[in-house]
Structures are given as C-alpha cells and as structure tokens.
Amino acid sequence: MISDEKREEIVMTMIANAGSARGHAFGAIKAAREGDFAGAEEALRQATESLRKVQEVHRNLLQMYAQGELPGIDLLLCHAQDHFMMASLARDLAAELVHVYRQIREECRRESA
C-alpha cells in the first residue's frame, strides 16, 4: 500500500501538470486568435508534453490499483482525474480552434488578394 503522503504527491503532480496543460491550451487559442500560429503550435506542443506527464503518472496509478497497492479511489484521486480529463479536452479543442483560426486567416487573405 502507498502512504497517504505518496498518494497526495501523485495527486498534486497530476493536478499541477494538468493545470499547466490547460494553460498552454488556452495560450494556443489566444496566439491563434492574434495570428501567431507558430506560437500557437508551440503552446499546443507544451500542452501535449504536460499531458504526457499526467498520462505517465495516471498509468502508474492504474498499475498500482491493479496490483492492490492502492486501496481504492478517493475524492482526491477523482479530483485529479477530473483535472486530467478537462485538460485533455482543452488541448483537443484548442488544436481544433487553432486550425479554424488558420483557415479563417487564409480565407481572408485570399478574398483580399
């Protein structure tokens, strides 16, 4: 069994990296809205990297649960999972919005040419 301190460390790692991913995702949207597509792509890359870190911790958590090292799911772990899923959704939607902003920008250029 893992200690309460270790479980809290895992939860905080997930929440911190998920928050970072969400922040980068919204940064990508803002950059794309302003026409900075290189900045938007970099922000999406950073969001993806932060999510990769969360996924790694999450995978380890699932392995611990499967091996009986985690006694059950508690409110803090559910909270961390919520942050993970919202950040993942934010990154996916941000990627779509960057694409839409890029298409709009290109269409405006064609119309004004």
Q: Which CATH architecture has domain 4-112?
A: Up-down Bundle (1.20)
41's CB contacts (< 8 A; 6+ apart) are 28, 98
Residue type, 15: I
pLDDT along the chain (113 residues), means of 10: 89 97 99 98 99 96 88 86 98 99 96 89
**Looking at residue 72, what is its pLDDT?**
74
Q: CA 67 → CA 38, 62, 91, distances in Å?
A: 44, 9, 31
**Looking at residue 56, what is its pLDDT?**
97
Tell me, yes or no, if the pTM score tops 0.85: yes
**Looking at residue 31, what is its pLDDT?**
99
Contact 76, 7 (CB under 8 A): yes
Measured torsion, CA atoms of residues 79, 53, 44, 77, in degrees rounded to the nearest 10: -10
Which residues form the catalytic set?
Answer: 79
> What are the domain boundaries of the chain?
4-112
Contact 32, 98 (CB under 8 A): yes
- 12's tokens: 């905080």
